[in-house]
Structure 1
Amino acid sequence: MGEALQTALTERYDTLTGSLRERVLTFVLAAFDSLPAYRDADAAAFLERVLPVVLGVQQQMGQVTDAYLTAMLADMLGTTTATAPATSAVAEQLRGVPPATVYERPFVQVRTALSRGHDLADAVHQGRTRLLSITETDLQLARTHAARGAMERGGAKFYRRRLSKTSDTCALCVIASTQRYRVAELMPIHPGCHCKPEPLPGNRDPGQVLDEQLLKDAHAAIARDLGASDSGGRAPDYRQVIITRQHGEYGALLAVRRQNFTGPDDVRPA
């Protein structure tokens, strides 16, 4: 079928995953906003109501991603690889931390803000923002874990990051989208990232740079904003601008050099 089928598959996948994201975020934020208070009892009620829905949507995200990539690879390679059941990781495997612990963090954020003198409205806003970031990140983790399994099973060796057409895209993702990656490497993410993995046909390494023009445009934007640019990454030192680091829960994480994140060895087993 070729390009026409692949375009149709991608559009359908984007519609489904966009709908999943919108529905779960609306539900989770509405549940948080409707709480009478943000004490321990309220947190417990919130978790009881929200966690089953969140975990179910994460599973759906993994299953939809698996089906999408299996169909893409079948068309690219001319195979009939079957979709494996439930290839997505369980919630605890996404971060290495129990989901209840993760979704209690917005309430910790509220209490911390109050202890630092913020008024209640601002403290709740901070907790809500934390909840939004957590939920979005977990959806992306469900996507990336399922994607790696589907691509490995389908025989893909390399993939690229495809930028989202429906959300703002940061410079980190733009530059990363010009590169090819090996399937064995989990796709780097950052909180709020909506990029999706797209397998590259064939087993031959296409080379590191896939989109030379976009990469040049990104360098030009960096020169405009930082005052200097260099295709060799020397002035300014691009290692100080964009790198990949390991986050204790997310795994591979796109980040700027001066941000400090918890490493895998710093997160205690649950």
Structure 2
Amino acid sequence: MTAPVQTPPPQQQLSAAQIAALLALVQAQAELRRQLTQAAVAAALAPLAGFTAWWDAEAVTDLIGRILRVVQPMQRQAAQLTDGYLTNAALVITGQRPRPAGAVDVTRLRRKMTEELADELLAGVRQSVKVELDRIGDEPSTEVQPSPAWGLEHDREYQDPAEAYARVADGYRYATTVLGDSPEKAQKKAEIRLATIAETDVTLAVREQYRRNLSAQNATGYRRILHPELSETGPCGLCVVAADRVYKKEDLLPLHNRCVCEVLPVYGRVDPGITLNGDDLRRIYDAAGGNTREDLRRVRVLMAEHGEIGPILVHGDQHYRSPEEVARTYASSRQVREQAILDALEPRYEETKYRVARGDNLSKTLRWQRARIEELRRSIGAAV
């Protein structure tokens, strides 16, 4: 990133008792969030057992309603717990208890890709943001990092929470029709996708609660707190690089898939997160031979913008579907929408032809794909 907004004076130390109290709070928050996430995923998956009516719109709508009735209360509970967690953390750090901010509205967490926004993105009137973070240094940074001007943050509309879950049904139909998956394989994909959405919904509620509380408190910023004990392989490179710096308090925490980081506020020279992360970061910085640290120095971490869930962390050397790409399927122009579908379908068709030649029983899928491609080409040609 660019030059820091400010360089605080040397770190002011908290007492051992304060650090111990904060560690207990962070661990309790992480464990309660883990339990709530697992419960939300299990509750979301329960109605899917034995469900086969993927082509019945009324049955799918009923399924989504049942899922939301169990997931949303858990989102609210996660937000309330986070409100209490940050209120108690502020008390430990500053000696003063701020007024609780109150739980966020869990129905206003996902952005909506409107036709107008899609057209603006495609015309270049509005642009999503992609910023490469600094590589890790010899020691964690205590500087407050500047915030990018998020291109999709302002004047946004919120997506109906049901829409994310409706895509599970869309995915099942796509898998069986376009990809030629068996019903069993498509069902397993639907379960995985549904679990990911439920997990993300809990995370989004926690993240928005972080922003509400931190904005209301007299904090300088925040630092993300690593939790290697909650991950099978320890903190990932994305989280380590992201935990190496302090962010402005009003910024949304950049997410990535299955992230288990929490946050703690920074008050001027008081940065408890750098102490709590210390052992984990020190192990990385002082790894034998420097191999681990050098590997992390090579990790390119981008803070990018997701059209639906906002700031995310992505590997700089890996492709991710940008809001501009997504916008093609929401554009007001039917020709643009159909071209986007065609561009996605043609490689699938070539892959299916290869699989049929290899002996896979996908002749029906191949015929459907060919007919759909021909239909799209005719429609696009007529519109030109």
TM-score by length of 1: 0.82
C-alpha separation in 2, matches of 1:217 and 1:185: 31
Q: Which amino acid aligns with 2:314?
A: A
Unaligned runs of 5+ in 2: 1-16, 112-157, 332-384
Q: More deviation in 161-170 or 62-71?
A: 161-170
C-alpha separation in 2, matches of 1:145 and 1:46: 27
C-alpha separation in 1, matches of 2:63 and 2:20: 44
Q: Show the counterpart of 2:29.
A: 13
- Equivalent residue in structure 1 for 2:292, among 221, 225, 239: 221
C-alpha separation in 2, matches of 1:76 and 1:178: 20
Q: Which structure has the bigger radius of gyration?
A: 2
Aligned length: 253
C-alpha separation in 1, matches of 2:198 and 2:84: 22
Shift of the 223–30 alpha-carbon distance from structure 1 to 2, 3 Å rule, reads: same
C-alpha separation in 2, matches of 1:138 and 1:19: 14
Q: Deviations over 1:114-173 (max 9, x none)?
A: 012111111111111111111111111111110111112121112111123323443211
C-alpha separation in 2, matches of 1:222 and 1:38: 48
Unaligned runs of 5+ in 1: none
- Equivalent residue in structure 2 for 1:262, among 317, 322, 331: 322
Cα shift at 1:243? 0.8
- Equivalent residue in structure 2 for 1:203, among 239, 249, 268: 268
Q: Deviations over 1:232-259 (max 9, x none)?
A: xxxx5x5xx3211001111110012332
Write the mapping of 1:68-217 to structure 2, written as runs, cut at 5 A.
68-86=85-103, 88-95=104-111, 96-115=158-177, 116-164=179-227, 165-168=229-232, 169-200=235-266, 202-204=267-269, 213=282, 216=285
Cα shift at 1:214? 5.4
Q: Show the counterpart of 2:377.
A: none
TM-score by length of 2: 0.60
RMSD of aligned alpha carbons: 2.7
C-alpha separation in 2, matches of 1:122 and 1:222: 40
C-alpha separation in 2, matches of 1:177 and 1:214: 14
SS at match of 1:66: helix
Decide whether the 8 Å contact of 1:144 with 1:197 is kept in 2. no
Decide whether the 8 Å contact of 1:9 with 1:68 is kept in 2. yes
